[in-house]
């Protein structure tokens, strides 16, 4: 019969190993058993096979599950190997299991079934990381930090504000993963090879048995579509990219001893005894590259692929699973490194004021006093040049006064209170001034962290 023909076609030629996906299919072994069960139950309910036949198949499947993926004896893929194992146990009746389906709808269902669970794990990882970031952001909401643009000192900020920025990005990652989940969570089963089936299958029933939230309607689309892999891997790659940015910020801060990683998240040198290196975060940085590569591999494989099923697809979904396996531990390590890090408050406060980083606040103050912002900007730019870097607050103040004498018609004190101007040159006061919604001032941060915690609880 058909089985004999199939087995002969997959009989140990030189391409046998090349063709087989059995090893990589371990990832979908449990999924395939679930799909087999749902399909068998549906076939019996629809009267396509008898209840007795279904019982025999289900009994054999329980046996195959107990023996495990490792006990499967060769085969082109996990679907064929499980069918062979079922037939070995119960005889030809086991071959009824594959009535009204194809490995094309079967494998698509298995991938979606497994990826669903992986995406939920990824969502959990983002929730835990957000929780960790918010906790440290809260604890360090008044800890000064240098804020950079172009990696040049820009404005003083706080460790809390900086970490909450990453929490915001990870919150969107949670949303992207959940969006991807919604479209992954549709059943292709019953689409058969691509062209549907003459049997009276109940696709809604198998979808419900497998916990899917509806169908991939068109049977050709069901067997062929892999855009759900792009969405899932895209969400994972984006998440990994955010972690890599945070990791890089840490590496830069550690380079300047602004933060020290806990020993658990650091490594040393085999020759240089004094070294404490941020290896975990460098690996996090690299994971973003792996995930981007996985996404690119999926895009490249799918580009120009005709409908319906093509065997190329066998090599596509493993990239999504690779991304899951790379990104999830990276998210956990990132959260752990942030939670256990030791912030060097004195060094951070000193760094926060470097490069006349309070200059914007001074210009803002002049603008509040009626000086057109562009004039204030030019005035403070001249003062910064005059004061040089590094410069003490007194020198900066004197430089602003001198520049104001040249740029303004009236005395400086007509525009700003000298005490306020002095305060604006202090990094902590400079941060406190920026209390606009979402800004780093402590009160603004309190409201921001409350909203972020609320959104996290809702996710």
Report in angstroms how near the CB of residue 50 gets to ligand ARG at its nearest. 28
Stretch that binds ligand ARG, among 293-301, 306-314, 335-343, 412-420 (CB under 6 A): 306-314
Contact letters for ligand ARG, residues 367-406 (x by CB under 6 A): ----------------------------------------
Instruction: Give yes or no for a contact between 240 and 332, defined as CB atoms under 8 angstroms apart.
Output: no
CA distances from 108 to 79, 181, 190, 220, 296 (A): 11, 15, 11, 11, 20
| Cβ neighbours of residue 131 closer than 8 Å, sequence gap 6 or more | 456
The interface with ligand ARG within residues 38-97 (CB under 6 A) comprises 77
**269 counts as catalytic:** yes
Whole-angstrom distance, CA of residue 157 vs CA of residue 237 = 28
Catalytic residue among 79, 102, 150, 270: 150
Phi, psi of 319 (to 5 degrees): -65, -35
CB closer to ligand ARG out of 79 and 141: 79
Catalytic residue among 98, 242, 257, 269: 269
Given candidates 8, 11, 149, 311, which one binds ligand ARG under the rule CB under 6 A?
311
CB closer to ligand ARG out of 109 and 358: 109
Whole-angstrom distance, CA of residue 265 vs CA of residue 454 = 30
Given candidates 119, 313, 338, 416, which one binds ligand ARG under the rule CB under 6 A?
313
Please tell me whether residue 285 binds ligand ARG under the rule CB under 6 A: no
CB closer to ligand ARG out of 232 and 281: 232
Contact letters for ligand ARG, residues 15-34 (x by CB under 6 A): ------x-------------
Given candidates 39, 60, 98, 104, which one binds ligand ARG under the rule CB under 6 A?
104
**98 counts as catalytic:** no
Whole-angstrom distance, CA of residue 92 vs CA of residue 200 = 22
CB closer to ligand ARG out of 21 and 126: 21
Instruction: Give yes or no for a contact between 281 and 247, defined as CB atoms under 8 angstroms apart.
Output: yes
The DSSP element (H or E) to which 145 belongs, if any, is strand 144-149
CB closer to ligand ARG out of 25 and 140: 25
Please tell me whether residue 222 binds ligand ARG under the rule CB under 6 A: no
Given candidates 86, 90, 107, 383, which one binds ligand ARG under the rule CB under 6 A?
107
The C-alpha torsion from 281 through 282 and 283 to 284, rounded to 10°, is: 50
Whole-angstrom distance, CA of residue 227 vs CA of residue 184 = 9
Whole-angstrom distance, CA of residue 458 vs CA of residue 235 = 20
Coil/strand/helix, residue 335: helix
What are the structure tokens assigned to 180, written together? 């991807």
Whole-angstrom distance, CA of residue 336 vs CA of residue 284 = 12
Interface residue list for ligand ARG (CB under 6 A): 21, 77, 103-104, 107, 309, 311, 313-314
> Could you list the active site residues?
150, 269
């Amino acid at each position: 019969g058909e089985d004999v023909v199939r087995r002969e076609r997959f009989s140990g030629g030189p391409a046998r190993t090349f063709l087989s996906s059995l090893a990589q299919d371990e990832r979908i072994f449990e999924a395939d058993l679930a799909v087999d069960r749902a399909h068998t139950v549906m076939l019996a309910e629809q009267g396509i096979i008898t209840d007795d036949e279904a019982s025999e198949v289900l009994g054999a499947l329980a046996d195959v599950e107990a023996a495990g993926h490792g006990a499967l004896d060769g085969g082109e893929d996990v679907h064929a190997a499980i069918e062979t194992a079922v037939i070995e146990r119960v005889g030809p009746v086991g071959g009824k299991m594959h009535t009204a389906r194809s490995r094309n709808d079967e494998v698509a269902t298995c991938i979606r079934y497994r990826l669903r669970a992986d995406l939920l794990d990824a969502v959990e990882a983002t929730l835990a990381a957000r929780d960790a970031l918010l906790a440290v952001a809260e604890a360090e909401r008044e800890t000064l930090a240098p804020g950079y643009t172009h990696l040049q000192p820009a404005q003083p900020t706080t460790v809390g504000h900086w970490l909450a920025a990453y929490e915001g990005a990870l919150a969107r990652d949670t949303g992207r993963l959940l969006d991807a989940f919604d479209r992954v969570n549709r059943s292709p089963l019953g689409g058969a090879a691509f062209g549907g089936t003459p049997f009276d299958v109940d696709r809604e029933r198998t979808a419900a048995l497998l916990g899917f939230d509806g169908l991939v309607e068109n049977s050709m689309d069901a067997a062929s579509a892999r855009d759900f892999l792009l969405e899932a891997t895209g969400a994972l790659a984006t998440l990994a990219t955010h972690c890599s940015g945070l990791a890089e910020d840490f590496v830069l801060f550690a380079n300047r001893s602004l933060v020290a990683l806990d020993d658990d998240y650091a490594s040393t040198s085999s020759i240089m005894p004094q070294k404490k290196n941020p290896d975990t975060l460098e690996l996090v940085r690299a994971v973003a590259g792996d995930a981007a590569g996985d996404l690119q591999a999926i895009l490249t494989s799918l580009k120009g692929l005709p409908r319906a099923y093509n065997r190329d697809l066998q090599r596509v979904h493993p990239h999504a699973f690779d991304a899951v396996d790379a990104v999830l531990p990276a998210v956990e390590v990132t959260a752990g490194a942030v939670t256990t890090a030791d912030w060097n408050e004195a060094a951070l406060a000193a760094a926060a004021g470097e490069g006349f980083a309070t200059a914007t606040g001074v210009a803002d103050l002049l603008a509040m006093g009626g000086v057109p912002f562009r004039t204030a900007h030019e005035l403070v730019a001249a003062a910064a040049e005059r004061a040089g870097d590094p410069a003490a607050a007194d020198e900066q103040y004197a430089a602003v006064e001198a520049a104001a004498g040249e740029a303004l018609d009236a005395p400086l004190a007509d525009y700003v209170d000298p005490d306020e101007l002095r305060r604006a040159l202090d990094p902590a006061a400079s941060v406190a001034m920026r209390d606009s919604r979402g800004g780093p001032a402590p009160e603004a941060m309190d409201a921001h962290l409350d909203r972020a915690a609320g959104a996290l609880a809702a996710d």
